[in-house]
Structure 1
Amino acid sequence: MNKKIAIALFALQLFALSIHTRTFAADPLPNVSVSIGGESGSQPGTSALSLLLLITVLSVAPAILVLMTSFTRIVIVLGFVRTSLGTQQSPPNQVLIGLAMFLTFFIMAPTFGQVNETALQPYLKGEITQSEALSKAAVPMKKFMFNQTREKDLLLFMNYTKTPKPKTYEDIPITVMVPAYALSEIRTAFQMGFMIFIPFLIIDMVVSSTLMAMGMMMLPPVMISLPFKILLFVLVDGWYLIVKSLLQSFHT
Protein backbone atom coordinates (compact mmCIF):
# COMPACT_ATOMS: atom_id res chain seq x y z
CA MET A 1 0.00 0.00 0.00
CA ASN A 2 2.85 2.39 0.90
CA LYS A 3 4.54 1.67 -2.44
CA LYS A 4 1.34 2.55 -4.33
CA ILE A 5 1.00 5.86 -2.43
CA ALA A 6 4.65 6.71 -3.12
CA ILE A 7 4.22 5.95 -6.84
CA ALA A 8 1.09 8.09 -6.99
CA LEU A 9 2.82 11.03 -5.30
CA PHE A 10 5.77 10.71 -7.67
CA ALA A 11 3.41 10.74 -10.67
CA LEU A 12 1.70 13.88 -9.36
CA GLN A 13 5.07 15.63 -8.98
CA LEU A 14 6.01 14.74 -12.56
CA PHE A 15 2.67 16.06 -13.80
CA ALA A 16 3.07 19.36 -11.91
CA LEU A 17 6.63 19.71 -13.21
CA SER A 18 5.47 19.19 -16.80
CA ILE A 19 2.76 21.87 -16.43
CA HIS A 20 5.31 24.29 -14.93
CA THR A 21 7.74 23.68 -17.78
CA ARG A 22 5.06 24.20 -20.45
CA THR A 23 3.98 27.46 -18.83
CA PHE A 24 7.49 28.88 -18.93
CA ALA A 25 8.00 27.57 -22.46
CA ALA A 26 4.82 29.31 -23.61
CA ASP A 27 5.68 32.59 -21.85
CA PRO A 28 9.43 33.17 -22.09
CA LEU A 29 11.07 35.82 -19.97
CA PRO A 30 11.04 39.28 -21.58
CA ASN A 31 14.28 40.86 -22.70
CA VAL A 32 15.57 43.47 -20.27
CA SER A 33 18.07 46.10 -21.35
CA VAL A 34 19.73 48.78 -19.27
CA SER A 35 21.02 51.97 -20.84
CA ILE A 36 23.15 54.65 -19.20
CA GLY A 37 22.54 58.28 -20.07
CA GLY A 38 19.47 60.21 -21.15
CA GLU A 39 18.41 61.39 -24.54
CA SER A 40 19.69 64.92 -24.18
CA GLY A 41 22.63 64.13 -21.88
CA SER A 42 22.79 67.75 -20.78
CA GLN A 43 20.97 67.41 -17.45
CA PRO A 44 23.28 67.01 -14.42
CA GLY A 45 23.35 63.60 -12.79
CA THR A 46 22.07 61.70 -15.84
CA SER A 47 25.18 61.27 -17.96
CA ALA A 48 27.34 58.20 -17.96
CA LEU A 49 30.17 60.20 -16.42
CA SER A 50 27.94 61.30 -13.55
CA LEU A 51 26.88 57.72 -12.82
CA LEU A 52 30.49 56.59 -12.95
CA LEU A 53 31.44 59.35 -10.53
CA LEU A 54 28.57 58.36 -8.22
CA ILE A 55 29.68 54.71 -8.18
CA THR A 56 33.24 55.80 -7.44
CA VAL A 57 32.13 57.97 -4.53
CA LEU A 58 30.05 55.14 -3.10
CA SER A 59 33.03 52.78 -3.31
CA VAL A 60 35.27 55.13 -1.34
CA ALA A 61 32.52 56.29 1.03
CA PRO A 62 33.86 54.23 4.00
CA ALA A 63 37.27 55.86 3.67
CA ILE A 64 35.66 59.30 3.46
CA LEU A 65 33.57 58.56 6.56
CA VAL A 66 36.57 57.34 8.54
CA LEU A 67 39.19 59.92 7.57
CA MET A 68 37.25 63.14 6.98
CA THR A 69 34.69 63.07 9.79
CA SER A 70 34.59 62.61 13.55
CA PHE A 71 34.12 58.86 13.20
CA THR A 72 37.79 58.00 13.84
CA ARG A 73 38.01 59.62 17.26
CA ILE A 74 34.62 58.33 18.40
CA VAL A 75 35.12 54.69 17.46
CA ILE A 76 38.64 54.57 18.98
CA VAL A 77 37.43 56.05 22.28
CA LEU A 78 34.48 53.65 22.45
CA GLY A 79 36.88 50.78 21.80
CA PHE A 80 39.06 51.98 24.70
CA VAL A 81 36.01 52.04 26.97
CA ARG A 82 35.18 48.42 26.22
CA THR A 83 38.82 47.34 26.60
CA SER A 84 39.27 49.14 29.92
CA LEU A 85 36.09 47.57 31.27
CA GLY A 86 37.32 44.14 30.23
CA THR A 87 33.90 43.05 28.99
CA GLN A 88 35.40 41.55 25.81
CA GLN A 89 32.55 41.59 23.26
CA SER A 90 30.01 43.57 25.23
CA PRO A 91 28.84 45.92 23.83
CA PRO A 92 29.28 44.13 20.49
CA ASN A 93 31.06 45.72 17.54
CA GLN A 94 27.78 46.40 15.74
CA VAL A 95 26.50 48.49 18.65
CA LEU A 96 29.72 50.49 19.01
CA ILE A 97 30.01 51.18 15.28
CA GLY A 98 26.32 52.08 15.05
CA LEU A 99 26.63 54.50 17.98
CA ALA A 100 29.79 55.98 16.45
CA MET A 101 28.04 56.50 13.12
CA PHE A 102 25.02 58.27 14.62
CA LEU A 103 27.25 60.46 16.79
CA THR A 104 29.24 61.26 13.65
CA PHE A 105 26.10 62.33 11.79
CA PHE A 106 25.06 64.43 14.79
CA ILE A 107 28.43 66.20 15.05
CA MET A 108 28.84 66.62 11.30
CA ALA A 109 25.28 67.84 10.70
CA PRO A 110 26.22 71.56 10.43
CA THR A 111 29.08 70.74 8.05
CA PHE A 112 26.94 68.44 5.93
CA GLY A 113 24.26 71.12 5.86
CA GLN A 114 26.73 73.63 4.42
CA VAL A 115 27.87 71.12 1.82
CA ASN A 116 24.27 70.48 0.80
CA GLU A 117 23.42 74.19 0.63
CA THR A 118 26.51 75.46 -1.18
CA ALA A 119 27.44 72.52 -3.41
CA LEU A 120 24.91 69.70 -3.74
CA GLN A 121 21.69 71.64 -4.29
CA PRO A 122 23.18 74.11 -6.83
CA TYR A 123 24.69 71.17 -8.72
CA LEU A 124 21.41 69.28 -8.84
CA LYS A 125 19.69 72.41 -10.12
CA GLY A 126 22.30 72.74 -12.88
CA GLU A 127 23.62 76.07 -11.61
CA ILE A 128 27.23 74.87 -11.23
CA THR A 129 29.42 72.17 -12.77
CA GLN A 130 30.78 69.07 -11.10
CA SER A 131 34.25 70.55 -10.56
CA GLU A 132 32.74 73.67 -9.00
CA ALA A 133 30.51 71.54 -6.78
CA LEU A 134 33.47 69.51 -5.54
CA SER A 135 35.46 72.68 -4.84
CA LYS A 136 32.57 74.23 -2.89
CA ALA A 137 31.92 70.99 -0.98
CA ALA A 138 35.56 70.78 0.10
CA VAL A 139 35.48 74.18 1.84
CA PRO A 140 33.19 73.22 4.82
CA MET A 141 35.00 69.89 5.19
CA LYS A 142 38.37 71.65 5.26
CA LYS A 143 37.08 74.09 7.86
CA PHE A 144 35.92 71.27 10.15
CA MET A 145 39.16 69.31 9.76
CA PHE A 146 41.31 72.41 10.18
CA ASN A 147 39.69 73.21 13.56
CA GLN A 148 40.60 69.73 14.87
CA THR A 149 44.09 69.43 13.35
CA ARG A 150 47.26 70.26 15.21
CA GLU A 151 49.62 72.70 13.54
CA LYS A 152 52.51 70.27 14.03
CA ASP A 153 50.75 67.52 12.07
CA LEU A 154 49.75 69.95 9.34
CA LEU A 155 53.30 71.25 8.94
CA LEU A 156 54.62 67.70 8.72
CA PHE A 157 52.76 66.97 5.49
CA MET A 158 53.13 70.47 4.11
CA ASN A 159 56.89 70.36 4.49
CA TYR A 160 57.05 66.90 2.97
CA THR A 161 55.11 67.98 -0.13
CA LYS A 162 56.87 71.42 -0.17
CA THR A 163 53.49 73.15 -0.14
CA PRO A 164 53.76 76.94 0.13
CA LYS A 165 52.38 78.53 3.29
CA PRO A 166 48.64 79.05 2.77
CA LYS A 167 46.86 82.27 3.68
CA THR A 168 43.70 80.50 4.88
CA TYR A 169 42.54 76.93 5.40
CA GLU A 170 40.84 77.05 1.99
CA ASP A 171 44.26 77.15 0.31
CA ILE A 172 45.43 73.91 1.98
CA PRO A 173 45.26 70.97 -0.46
CA ILE A 174 42.87 68.22 0.53
CA THR A 175 45.69 65.68 0.10
CA VAL A 176 47.54 67.45 2.91
CA MET A 177 44.58 68.16 5.14
CA VAL A 178 43.17 64.62 5.32
CA PRO A 179 46.28 62.74 6.60
CA ALA A 180 47.12 65.57 9.01
CA TYR A 181 43.58 65.50 10.37
CA ALA A 182 43.60 61.70 10.71
CA LEU A 183 46.91 61.80 12.60
CA SER A 184 45.58 64.43 14.99
CA GLU A 185 42.39 62.47 15.56
CA ILE A 186 44.26 59.30 16.46
CA ARG A 187 46.44 61.21 18.94
CA THR A 188 43.44 62.87 20.58
CA ALA A 189 41.57 59.57 20.79
CA PHE A 190 44.53 57.88 22.49
CA GLN A 191 44.79 60.73 25.00
CA MET A 192 41.12 60.30 25.89
CA GLY A 193 41.56 56.54 26.04
CA PHE A 194 44.44 56.90 28.51
CA MET A 195 42.31 59.02 30.82
CA ILE A 196 39.55 56.41 30.64
CA PHE A 197 41.95 53.61 31.54
CA ILE A 198 43.23 55.17 34.78
CA PRO A 199 40.27 54.50 37.17
CA PHE A 200 39.79 50.93 35.90
CA LEU A 201 43.52 50.27 36.20
CA ILE A 202 43.41 51.38 39.85
CA ILE A 203 40.57 48.93 40.52
CA ASP A 204 42.55 46.10 38.92
CA MET A 205 45.62 46.93 41.02
CA VAL A 206 43.63 47.08 44.27
CA VAL A 207 41.87 43.77 43.59
CA SER A 208 45.09 42.07 42.53
CA SER A 209 46.95 43.27 45.64
CA THR A 210 44.08 42.18 47.89
CA LEU A 211 43.95 38.69 46.40
CA MET A 212 47.71 38.33 46.68
CA ALA A 213 47.62 39.41 50.32
CA MET A 214 44.90 36.83 51.01
CA GLY A 215 46.98 34.10 49.37
CA MET A 216 44.52 33.51 46.52
CA MET A 217 47.14 33.12 43.83
CA MET A 218 45.05 30.85 41.58
CA LEU A 219 41.99 33.10 41.46
CA PRO A 220 42.07 35.38 38.37
CA PRO A 221 41.79 39.03 39.50
CA VAL A 222 39.65 39.80 36.44
CA MET A 223 36.79 37.71 37.80
CA ILE A 224 36.66 39.86 40.94
CA SER A 225 37.46 43.27 39.45
CA LEU A 226 35.03 43.06 36.52
CA PRO A 227 31.82 43.42 38.62
CA PHE A 228 33.35 46.34 40.53
CA LYS A 229 34.38 48.11 37.31
CA ILE A 230 30.91 47.67 35.82
CA LEU A 231 29.33 48.89 39.08
CA LEU A 232 31.56 51.98 39.12
CA PHE A 233 30.84 52.69 35.46
CA VAL A 234 27.09 52.45 36.02
CA LEU A 235 27.10 54.54 39.21
CA VAL A 236 28.92 57.46 37.58
CA ASP A 237 26.75 57.16 34.43
CA GLY A 238 29.79 56.35 32.35
CA TRP A 239 28.23 56.26 28.90
CA TYR A 240 26.72 59.70 29.41
CA LEU A 241 30.09 61.10 30.46
CA ILE A 242 31.89 59.46 27.53
CA VAL A 243 29.44 60.79 24.94
CA LYS A 244 29.44 64.23 26.58
CA SER A 245 33.24 64.35 26.51
CA LEU A 246 33.29 63.30 22.86
CA LEU A 247 30.80 66.00 21.87
CA GLN A 248 32.68 68.69 23.78
CA SER A 249 36.05 67.61 22.38
CA PHE A 250 35.19 68.84 18.87
CA HIS A 251 35.89 72.51 18.27
CA THR A 252 33.41 74.36 16.09
Structure 2
Amino acid sequence: MEARRPMGTADRLWRLPILLGAVCLLTAIWIAPAWAAGPSVSLDLGSDAPKQTAVVIQILLLLTILSLAPALFIMVTSFTRIVIVLSFLRQALGTQAVPPNQVLLSLALFLTLFIMAPVGQTVYSQALQPLLAEQISYEDAWTKGIEPVRGFMLRQVREKDLELFVSLGKLPKPERVEQIPTHVVIPAFILSELRVAFQIGFLIYIPFLIVDMVVASVLMSMGMMLLPPVVISLPFKLILFVLADGWYLVVGSMVRSFQ
Protein backbone atom coordinates (compact mmCIF):
# COMPACT_ATOMS: atom_id res chain seq x y z
CA MET A 1 0.00 0.00 0.00
CA GLU A 2 1.35 3.34 -1.05
CA ALA A 3 1.92 5.81 1.76
CA ARG A 4 0.04 9.16 1.54
CA ARG A 5 2.22 12.12 0.76
CA PRO A 6 1.95 14.94 3.31
CA MET A 7 0.08 18.07 2.02
CA GLY A 8 2.46 20.87 1.31
CA THR A 9 2.03 24.66 1.19
CA ALA A 10 1.51 24.71 -2.56
CA ASP A 11 -1.38 22.23 -2.28
CA ARG A 12 -3.10 24.45 0.25
CA LEU A 13 -2.71 27.66 -1.77
CA TRP A 14 -4.40 26.40 -4.93
CA ARG A 15 -7.51 25.45 -2.91
CA LEU A 16 -7.87 29.00 -1.46
CA PRO A 17 -9.22 30.66 -4.66
CA ILE A 18 -11.77 27.84 -5.04
CA LEU A 19 -12.98 28.34 -1.46
CA LEU A 20 -13.29 32.15 -1.89
CA GLY A 21 -15.16 31.70 -5.15
CA ALA A 22 -17.63 29.33 -3.54
CA VAL A 23 -18.26 31.79 -0.69
CA CYS A 24 -18.87 34.65 -3.13
CA LEU A 25 -21.25 32.50 -5.20
CA LEU A 26 -23.29 31.50 -2.17
CA THR A 27 -23.44 35.13 -0.98
CA ALA A 28 -24.65 36.28 -4.40
CA ILE A 29 -27.34 33.61 -4.49
CA TRP A 30 -28.48 34.59 -0.98
CA ILE A 31 -28.81 38.35 -1.62
CA ALA A 32 -30.02 38.08 -5.24
CA PRO A 33 -33.71 38.42 -4.29
CA ALA A 34 -32.96 41.61 -2.35
CA TRP A 35 -31.11 43.08 -5.36
CA ALA A 36 -33.98 42.22 -7.65
CA ALA A 37 -36.48 43.94 -5.40
CA GLY A 38 -34.33 47.09 -5.29
CA PRO A 39 -33.37 49.23 -2.31
CA SER A 40 -36.18 50.55 -0.16
CA VAL A 41 -36.28 53.19 2.53
CA SER A 42 -39.27 53.64 4.80
CA LEU A 43 -39.88 56.80 6.79
CA ASP A 44 -42.64 56.83 9.35
CA LEU A 45 -43.80 60.31 10.27
CA GLY A 46 -46.46 58.99 12.56
CA SER A 47 -49.43 59.00 10.22
CA ASP A 48 -51.47 57.30 12.90
CA ALA A 49 -50.74 60.11 15.31
CA PRO A 50 -51.23 63.62 13.81
CA LYS A 51 -49.56 65.25 16.81
CA GLN A 52 -46.36 63.30 16.22
CA THR A 53 -46.40 64.32 12.55
CA ALA A 54 -46.78 67.98 13.53
CA VAL A 55 -43.84 67.73 15.94
CA VAL A 56 -41.61 66.19 13.25
CA ILE A 57 -42.52 68.93 10.78
CA GLN A 58 -41.85 71.60 13.39
CA ILE A 59 -38.41 70.10 14.06
CA LEU A 60 -37.61 70.13 10.34
CA LEU A 61 -38.69 73.75 10.06
CA LEU A 62 -36.62 74.67 13.12
CA LEU A 63 -33.50 73.04 11.67
CA THR A 64 -34.06 74.88 8.39
CA ILE A 65 -34.37 78.21 10.18
CA LEU A 66 -31.24 77.52 12.22
CA SER A 67 -29.27 76.76 9.05
CA LEU A 68 -30.36 80.12 7.60
CA ALA A 69 -29.85 82.02 10.84
CA PRO A 70 -26.31 83.32 10.04
CA ALA A 71 -27.43 84.75 6.69
CA LEU A 72 -30.51 86.31 8.27
CA PHE A 73 -28.44 87.78 11.09
CA ILE A 74 -25.99 89.33 8.62
CA MET A 75 -28.47 90.67 6.11
CA VAL A 76 -31.24 92.15 8.29
CA THR A 77 -29.02 93.83 10.89
CA SER A 78 -26.29 96.46 10.98
CA PHE A 79 -23.53 93.85 10.55
CA THR A 80 -23.10 94.42 6.80
CA ARG A 81 -22.37 98.14 7.05
CA ILE A 82 -20.04 97.76 10.03
CA VAL A 83 -17.87 94.98 8.64
CA ILE A 84 -17.48 96.69 5.25
CA VAL A 85 -16.46 99.99 6.86
CA LEU A 86 -13.92 98.24 9.08
CA SER A 87 -12.49 96.46 6.05
CA PHE A 88 -12.15 99.80 4.21
CA LEU A 89 -10.44 101.27 7.25
CA ARG A 90 -7.85 98.50 7.37
CA GLN A 91 -7.14 98.85 3.66
CA ALA A 92 -6.82 102.63 3.95
CA LEU A 93 -4.31 102.24 6.76
CA GLY A 94 -2.33 99.80 4.65
CA THR A 95 -1.61 97.50 7.59
CA GLN A 96 -2.39 94.34 5.57
CA ALA A 97 -3.71 91.84 8.14
CA VAL A 98 -3.67 94.11 11.20
CA PRO A 99 -6.15 94.03 12.88
CA PRO A 100 -6.74 90.38 11.92
CA ASN A 101 -10.04 89.18 10.52
CA GLN A 102 -11.05 87.60 13.83
CA VAL A 103 -10.75 90.93 15.61
CA LEU A 104 -12.68 92.84 12.94
CA LEU A 105 -15.47 90.26 12.82
CA SER A 106 -15.71 90.16 16.61
CA LEU A 107 -15.86 93.95 16.81
CA ALA A 108 -18.52 94.04 14.09
CA LEU A 109 -20.49 91.31 15.87
CA PHE A 110 -20.54 93.04 19.26
CA LEU A 111 -21.33 96.42 17.71
CA THR A 112 -24.21 94.75 15.91
CA LEU A 113 -25.48 93.27 19.17
CA PHE A 114 -25.22 96.71 20.79
CA ILE A 115 -27.13 98.42 17.97
CA MET A 116 -29.76 95.69 17.62
CA ALA A 117 -30.32 95.27 21.37
CA PRO A 118 -33.54 97.39 21.48
CA VAL A 119 -34.94 95.47 18.51
CA GLY A 120 -34.04 92.13 20.10
CA GLN A 121 -35.65 93.10 23.39
CA THR A 122 -38.85 94.08 21.59
CA VAL A 123 -38.93 90.81 19.67
CA TYR A 124 -38.37 88.83 22.88
CA SER A 125 -41.06 90.63 24.88
CA GLN A 126 -43.71 90.75 22.16
CA ALA A 127 -43.18 87.48 20.30
CA LEU A 128 -40.77 84.97 21.83
CA GLN A 129 -41.83 85.19 25.47
CA PRO A 130 -45.59 84.83 24.76
CA LEU A 131 -44.84 81.96 22.37
CA LEU A 132 -42.83 80.08 24.99
CA ALA A 133 -45.66 80.66 27.45
CA GLU A 134 -48.09 79.23 24.85
CA GLN A 135 -50.12 82.43 24.88
CA ILE A 136 -49.92 82.99 21.10
CA SER A 137 -49.54 80.78 18.04
CA TYR A 138 -46.55 80.50 15.74
CA GLU A 139 -48.22 82.70 13.13
CA ASP A 140 -48.89 85.46 15.65
CA ALA A 141 -45.35 85.17 16.99
CA TRP A 142 -43.92 85.57 13.49
CA THR A 143 -46.14 88.57 12.78
CA LYS A 144 -45.25 90.32 16.03
CA GLY A 145 -41.58 89.35 15.86
CA ILE A 146 -40.93 90.54 12.33
CA GLU A 147 -42.44 93.99 12.85
CA PRO A 148 -39.57 95.44 14.96
CA VAL A 149 -37.03 94.08 12.45
CA ARG A 150 -39.01 95.58 9.56
CA GLY A 151 -39.16 98.89 11.39
CA PHE A 152 -35.38 98.91 11.80
CA MET A 153 -34.81 98.13 8.13
CA LEU A 154 -37.37 100.68 6.92
CA ARG A 155 -35.65 103.43 8.94
CA GLN A 156 -32.38 102.76 7.10
CA VAL A 157 -33.60 101.94 3.61
CA ARG A 158 -33.86 104.46 0.80
CA GLU A 159 -37.18 105.06 -0.89
CA LYS A 160 -35.45 104.73 -4.26
CA ASP A 161 -34.27 101.21 -3.42
CA LEU A 162 -37.75 100.19 -2.28
CA GLU A 163 -39.23 101.48 -5.53
CA LEU A 164 -36.64 99.51 -7.49
CA PHE A 165 -37.58 96.15 -5.98
CA VAL A 166 -41.30 96.93 -6.05
CA SER A 167 -41.00 97.56 -9.78
CA LEU A 168 -38.79 94.48 -10.31
CA GLY A 169 -41.34 92.35 -8.49
CA LYS A 170 -44.15 93.88 -10.59
CA LEU A 171 -46.10 94.66 -7.46
CA PRO A 172 -48.77 97.35 -7.20
CA LYS A 173 -47.48 100.56 -5.70
CA PRO A 174 -48.30 100.43 -1.96
CA GLU A 175 -50.05 103.35 -0.36
CA ARG A 176 -48.39 102.78 3.02
CA VAL A 177 -45.07 101.43 4.14
CA GLU A 178 -46.75 98.65 6.10
CA GLN A 179 -48.09 97.22 2.85
CA ILE A 180 -44.61 96.54 1.45
CA PRO A 181 -43.82 92.78 1.65
CA THR A 182 -40.87 91.66 3.74
CA HIS A 183 -39.21 89.95 0.77
CA VAL A 184 -39.04 93.39 -0.86
CA VAL A 185 -37.78 95.23 2.20
CA ILE A 186 -34.80 92.90 2.81
CA PRO A 187 -33.00 93.27 -0.57
CA ALA A 188 -33.72 97.00 -0.59
CA PHE A 189 -32.21 97.28 2.89
CA ILE A 190 -29.10 95.34 1.83
CA LEU A 191 -28.64 97.60 -1.20
CA SER A 192 -28.94 100.70 0.96
CA GLU A 193 -26.47 99.32 3.48
CA LEU A 194 -23.89 98.65 0.76
CA ARG A 195 -24.31 102.19 -0.57
CA VAL A 196 -23.87 103.81 2.83
CA ALA A 197 -20.90 101.56 3.67
CA PHE A 198 -19.08 102.54 0.47
CA GLN A 199 -19.78 106.23 1.12
CA ILE A 200 -18.25 105.98 4.58
CA GLY A 201 -15.31 104.02 3.16
CA PHE A 202 -14.67 106.78 0.61
CA LEU A 203 -14.59 109.41 3.35
CA ILE A 204 -12.19 107.26 5.38
CA TYR A 205 -9.84 106.88 2.44
CA ILE A 206 -9.41 110.63 1.78
CA PRO A 207 -7.06 111.62 4.67
CA PHE A 208 -4.89 108.54 4.23
CA LEU A 209 -4.72 109.13 0.47
CA ILE A 210 -3.49 112.67 1.12
CA VAL A 211 -0.73 111.32 3.36
CA ASP A 212 0.33 108.85 0.65
CA MET A 213 0.43 111.60 -1.97
CA VAL A 214 2.50 113.93 0.23
CA VAL A 215 5.00 111.20 1.10
CA ALA A 216 5.28 110.13 -2.55
CA SER A 217 5.88 113.73 -3.65
CA VAL A 218 8.58 114.26 -1.01
CA LEU A 219 10.36 111.04 -1.96
CA MET A 220 10.25 111.92 -5.64
CA SER A 221 11.62 115.41 -5.01
CA MET A 222 14.49 113.87 -3.02
CA GLY A 223 15.25 111.42 -5.83
CA MET A 224 14.44 108.38 -3.71
CA MET A 225 12.31 106.64 -6.34
CA LEU A 226 13.39 103.11 -5.42
CA LEU A 227 12.01 103.42 -1.90
CA PRO A 228 8.32 102.38 -1.77
CA PRO A 229 6.19 105.32 -0.56
CA VAL A 230 3.85 102.92 1.28
CA VAL A 231 6.66 101.88 3.65
CA ILE A 232 7.37 105.49 4.60
CA SER A 233 3.75 106.64 4.77
CA LEU A 234 2.58 103.80 7.03
CA PRO A 235 4.05 105.21 10.27
CA PHE A 236 2.65 108.67 9.45
CA LYS A 237 -0.81 107.22 8.81
CA LEU A 238 -0.69 105.27 12.06
CA ILE A 239 0.35 108.29 14.13
CA LEU A 240 -2.31 110.40 12.41
CA PHE A 241 -4.96 107.80 13.17
CA VAL A 242 -3.86 107.51 16.81
CA LEU A 243 -3.64 111.28 17.41
CA ALA A 244 -7.08 111.81 15.88
CA ASP A 245 -8.49 109.00 18.07
CA GLY A 246 -9.60 107.21 14.94
CA TRP A 247 -11.28 104.19 16.50
CA TYR A 248 -13.44 106.45 18.67
CA LEU A 249 -14.47 108.52 15.65
CA VAL A 250 -15.15 105.61 13.31
CA VAL A 251 -17.06 103.45 15.77
CA GLY A 252 -19.01 106.41 17.17
CA SER A 253 -19.96 107.59 13.68
CA MET A 254 -21.12 104.14 12.61
CA VAL A 255 -23.28 103.66 15.71
CA ARG A 256 -24.80 107.13 15.36
CA SER A 257 -25.60 106.48 11.71
CA PHE A 258 -28.20 103.92 12.84
CA GLN A 259 -29.88 106.20 15.36
TM range (shorter): 0.7 to 0.9
Structure 1 residue 126: Cα displacement: 1.1
State the partner residue of 1:85.
93
Structure 1 residue 138: Cα displacement: 1.1
Distance 1:149 1:248, change over 3 A: same
Structure 1 residue 167: Cα displacement: 4.0
Superposed CA offset, 1:118-159 (max 9, x none): 111111111122122112111111100000000000000011
Once residues 136 and 125 of structure 2 are traced to their aligned partners in structure 1, the CA distance between those partners, rounded to angstroms, is: 12
Q: Does 1:169 align with 2:177?
A: yes
Once residues 184 and 79 of structure 1 are traced to their aligned partners in structure 2, the CA distance between those partners, rounded to angstroms, is: 18
State the partner residue of 1:233.
241
TM-score by length of 1: 0.80
Once residues 50 and 127 of structure 2 are traced to their aligned partners in structure 1, the CA distance between those partners, rounded to angstroms, is: 21
Q: Does 1:187 align with 2:208?
A: no
State the partner residue of 1:47.
55
Asked if the contact 1:107–1:247 (Cα under 8 Å) also holds between the matched residues in 2, the reply is: yes
Once residues 192 and 41 of structure 1 are traced to their aligned partners in structure 2, the CA distance between those partners, rounded to angstroms, is: 54
Give 5+ residue unaligned stretches, structure 2. 1-44
Q: Does 1:105 align with 2:113?
A: yes
TM-score by length of 2: 0.78
The residue identity in structure 2 corresponding to 1:215 is: G
Structure 1 residue 168: Cα displacement: 3.5
Structure 1 residue 170: Cα displacement: 2.7
Once residues 96 and 58 of structure 1 are traced to their aligned partners in structure 2, the CA distance between those partners, rounded to angstroms, is: 24
Distance 1:167 1:123, change over 3 A: farther
**What is the aligned length?**
212
Superposed CA offset, 1:86-137 (max 9, x none): 0000000000000000000100011111111111111111112212211211
Once residues 185 and 144 of structure 2 are traced to their aligned partners in structure 1, the CA distance between those partners, rounded to angstroms, is: 16
State the partner residue of 1:201.
209
Give 5+ residue unaligned stretches, structure 1. 1-35
Superposed CA offset, 1:171-206 (max 9, x none): 211110000000000000000000000000000000
Secondary structure at the counterpart of residue 117 of structure 2: helix
State the partner residue of 2:66.
58
State the partner residue of 1:96.
104
State the partner residue of 1:158.
166
CA RMSD of aligned residues (A): 1.9
Asked if the contact 1:143–1:169 (Cα under 8 Å) also holds between the matched residues in 2, the reply is: no
Q: Does 1:73 align with 2:81?
A: yes
The residue identity in structure 1 corresponding to 2:72 is: I
Structure 1 residue 42: Cα displacement: 6.6
Task: Give the fraction of aligned pairs with identical amino acids, expressed as a percent.
Answer: 58
Whose Rg is larger?
Answer: 2
The residue identity in structure 2 corresponding to 1:102 is: F
Once residues 254 and 100 of structure 2 are traced to their aligned partners in structure 1, the CA distance between those partners, rounded to angstroms, is: 20
The residue identity in structure 2 corresponding to 1:190 is: F
The residue identity in structure 2 corresponding to 1:53 is: L
Secondary structure at the counterpart of residue 89 of structure 1: coil
Q: Does 1:114 align with 2:122?
A: yes
Once residues 176 and 216 of structure 1 are traced to their aligned partners in structure 2, the CA distance between those partners, rounded to angstroms, is: 56
1:215 to 223, 230, 238: 223
Once residues 98 and 91 of structure 1 are traced to their aligned partners in structure 2, the CA distance between those partners, rounded to angstroms, is: 11
The residue identity in structure 1 corresponding to 2:223 is: G
Secondary structure at the counterpart of residue 250 of structure 2: helix
